[in-house]
Amino acid sequence: LDHMLVTYVKGKYLVEVDPAQSVKQFQVLQKEASDGGNLKYAFLANVGLGLGYEAQKKWAEAESAFQAAVDYAERIRKTLDPVAKRAFLEGEEILGVKHLVPYEGLARVRQHKGDPTGSLDAAEFTKARSFADKISQRLPGTTFGVAPELLNELDTIEAKIRANHRRMGESRAKGG
């Protein structure tokens, strides 16, 4: 774990100084985290890869890395209790990196790639996730004037957005 922390810190430093070398550091971290089943470091590695590739204007690689980081963020979120989920995107951080960062990176990179629709999709997904997290902050049994049916519908819509987002990523990865 200490080695992964050192690798992360080196990669983070190199993003600004030497993005190509930062990518190498984050690739090492990604392998170590994946091999060790460490979701948080896998998340950080993919965010770092996205930032490193973005700094080099390697948009496809950056998009892929940010998408992987988003997937790790969602996996991490699923492990949290309801209280921790409330501040997941905008509040909780891993070594100073908010879970919101890869969502923003995905939107930014897609814009650079000339994919405004994909950029909008990423931004809208982020807003929907944030809104759902804020709605989930309600006290048990309290809906703050929002009809329970609407809250259930929001949950269903959010699940559909996630599924469609994943399918779009898979389709793009296959070149379709």
Reported as a single tens digit per residue, the pLDDT across 101-127 is 788 888 888 888 777 666 556 555 555
Amino acid in the structure at residue 152: N
CA 31 vs. chain centroid, Å, equals 18
Measured in degrees and rounded to the nearest 5, phi and psi for residue 79 equal -85, -10
Reported as a single tens digit per residue, the pLDDT across 11-68 is 988 999 999 999 999 999 999 999 999 999 999 999 999 999 999 999 999 999 999 9
CA 111 – CA 113 distance, rounded (Å): 5
CB atoms within 10 A of CB 59: 18
Query: How distant, in Å, are the alpha carbons of 61, 63, 65, 95 from that of 51?
Result: 10, 10, 9, 16
pLDDT at residue 139, as a whole number: 47
Q: Tell me the whole-structure pTM to 2 decimals.
A: 0.68
The secondary element (H helix, E strand) that includes residue 98 is strand 97-98
Contact between 4 and 33 (Cβ < 8 Å):
yes
Mean pLDDT, the chain, whole residue set: 79
